[in-house]
Amino acid sequence: MQQFLESYLPAAPLVVLVYAMIPLMIILLYALFAIWFERKVAGHIQDRLGPMRVGGWHGWSQSIADLLKILQKEDIVPAKADRFLFKLAPFIAFAASYGAYAVIPLSSEYIGSMIDVGVFYFIAITSLLSISIIMAGWASNNKWSLLGAMRTAAQTVSYEVPTVVTILSVIVVTGTLNLMEVTEMQSGNTTLGFLPNWIIFHSPFMLLAFVLFFIAALAEAHRVPFDLPESESELVGGYQTEYSGMRWAVFMLTEYVDLLLLSLIGVVLFFGGWNSPFGSFMDGPVWGVFWSVSKAMVLVFVMMWLRWTLPRLRVDQLMNLCWKYLIPICFVNLILIALWEMLF
């Protein structure tokens, strides 16, 4: 991929820039689609139609219209806010989410950085997100924002543990932290002869590991039922309360980018990443992008589906779920997977 770009572009910095921008193109298009899709899913689950007006067919360009509206909005900074941190926070949030895409293999020919500590980097850089949210909450000088930020801090610190332990249980099987190698290991049709060689089919405990990972990922992405930092009905908008215009839009974008990111990492760790589910059929670098993104979209859909099904957890319930249920089950599961790996 990099060599392909070098043969067409004149300067090396340009090559790096274009190479780094490829996921950005994908996630911007995805964000426009996902926001519209979420509204459609919400509408139809509630027996409504959702947006129907803008752009003809089922209001497909609603997000574009919303974006144009947001671009015209005034950028308001509260008088007693910490101006520097307040303005910086949304961009750190986005940078943290986008930075994590560097280690996601989108196709057999494309990965931002082939580092051997890929998973470690991923876990480290996504933690920045909670720092940016605390920044936004503190700098806003608003009770709602600060409460939202405090909840986020508590939530993220708690849910890092089950996320990391479930990821660790995958690493026990793969034996490498490089996500490209993790994906390459899952090629072919070998599980029971007909199932793809994906890690989720590796052992029955892997299915449990995926469920635990999914719950923890929902909490990491601050999605319903774990959307306490931005719970509209209690905290107005949580850490977003004082934000408006494009800065708010960047937070919104980060939320959806995070959704895709956690779905992608779930796909890479459990569902074979860019591998085709039909063995060598429809396999290749371009199909790889298609498969990784569409597999992630299925998980994104499940997250949206959950959002319109489940009510929000209370703060104490959230902590209860994490520390009393998820973490013990995660550790037991890790030991069981390790045993399975030793025996077979």
Q: Which residues bind another protein (CB under 8 A)?
A: 41, 43-49, 52, 305-306, 308-310, 324-325, 328-329
Q: 290 or 331, CB closer to another protein?
A: 331
Q: At its nearest, how many Å lie between another protein and the CB of residue 65?
A: 18
* Rounded CA separation 100/94 (Å): 10
Structural contact between residues 209 and 169, judged by C-beta atoms closer than 8 angstroms: yes
Q: How far apart are alpha carbons 227 and 181 in whole angstroms?
A: 33
Q: Using the minimum distance from each CB to another protein, give the nearer residue, 46 or 190.
A: 46
Nearest approach, Cβ of 19 to another protein (angstroms)? Answer: 39
Decide whether 129 or 259 has the Cβ nearer to another protein: 259
| In contact, 312 and 231? CB cutoff 8 Å | yes
What angle do helix axes 143-174 and 118-139 make, rounded to 10 degrees? 180
CB 258 within 8 A of CB 159: no
Helices (H), the chain: 2-8, 12-45, 62-71, 83-100, 118-139, 143-174, 179-184, 204-220, 232-235, 245-270, 285-307, 315-320, 327-343
Q: How far is the CB of 325 from another protein (least distance, A)?
A: 6
Closest approach of Cβ 155 to another protein, in Å? Answer: 18
CB nearer to another protein: pick between 247 and 307: 307
Report the half-sphere exposure of 211 (CA within 13 A, side-chain side): 9
Burial 263-274 (b: 16+ CB within 10 A, else e): bbbbbbbbbbbb
Minimal distance, residue 316 CB to another protein, in Å: 15
Nearer to another protein, 227 or 242 (CB): 227
Task: Using the minimum distance from each CB to another protein, give the nearer residue, 280 or 309.
Answer: 309
Shortest Cβ 162–another protein spacing (Å): 14
Closer CB to another protein, residue 16 or residue 310? 310
In the complex, minimum distance from the CB of residue 68 to another protein, in angstroms, rounded to a whole number = 23
Contact 228, 312 (CB under 8 A): yes
Helix (H) or strand (E) holding 187: none
CA dihedral 94, 100, 105, 106 (to 10 degrees): -10
Q: How far is the CB of 329 from another protein (least distance, A)?
A: 8
- Residue closer to another protein by CB (options 180, 327) is 327
CB-based contact 81:244 (threshold 8 Å): no
CB of 304 to another protein, least distance (A): 10
Nearer to another protein by Cβ, of 48 and 73: the residue is 48
CA distance 70 to 41: 23
Q: Please state, in angstroms and rounded to a whole number, the distance separating the CA atoms of residues 90 and 96.
A: 10
